[in-house]
Amino acid sequence: MKLYRLLTEDDTSAFCHKVSLALSKGWELYGDPSYAFDATKGVMRCAQAVTKVVPGDYHPDLKLGDQ
């Protein structure tokens, strides 16, 4: 099955580390990153979609971060 995650974070090195960790666990980048201003917090936010093919069937209780 193919899994999908959308990683988000404030525009800090933490976002890059989050994406790098996912890549090190076998996730692959999916599409271009997004960048937008969060007016409530007054900061820029980043987002990157990632996908990964794993064995088994999908169920909604699956913890994607553990894959």
Q: Are 56 and 47 in contact (CB under 8 A)?
A: no
pLDDT at 63: 87
What is this structure's pTM?
0.88
Q: Per-domain residue ranges for the chain?
A: 2-57
Q: Measure the CA–CA gap between 65 and 36, rounded to whole angstroms.
A: 23
Q: Measure the CA–CA gap between 39 and 6, rounded to whole angstroms.
A: 20
Which helix or strand (DSSP H or E) is residue 25 part of?
none
> Could you tell me which of 24, 12, 19, 11 has the C-alpha nearest to residue 49?
19
pLDDT at 67: 82
Question: Tens-of-pLDDT digits for all 67 residues of the chain?
Answer: 999 999 999 999 999 999 999 999 999 999 999 999 999 999 999 999 999 999 988 888 888 888 8
